[in-house]
Amino acid sequence: MPLDSIALIAAATFTLGCAGIHALRRHADAVTRVLTVLAYGLAAAFGWLLAGRGDLLGLSDPIPAWALVATAGI
């Protein structure tokens, strides 16, 4: 049975995340804040990706929108 490197990396990342959360269990408030920020960042990045791919971004004025174009890769 061949090893799938992506599955192995995903499993290692998950295990390291669980170990980190377990090690910081006495600082539950800080862990909750960090996980909340990470979840928000992932959701925002996924939303921007979908908006950029689906042509949902209407750029009316190109001068202030340069950062949006650079970020979304439009």
For residue 49, name the pLDDT band (cuts at 50, 70, 90). Answer: confident
Quote the CA–CA distance of 74 and 52 in Å, as a whole number. Answer: 6
Is 58 strand, coil or helix?
Answer: coil
pTM strictly above 0.75: no
Mean pLDDT of 13-39: 91
- Give the CB-side neighbour count of residue 45, counting CA atoms within 13 A: 6
Helices (H) and strands (E) in the chain, counts: 3, 0
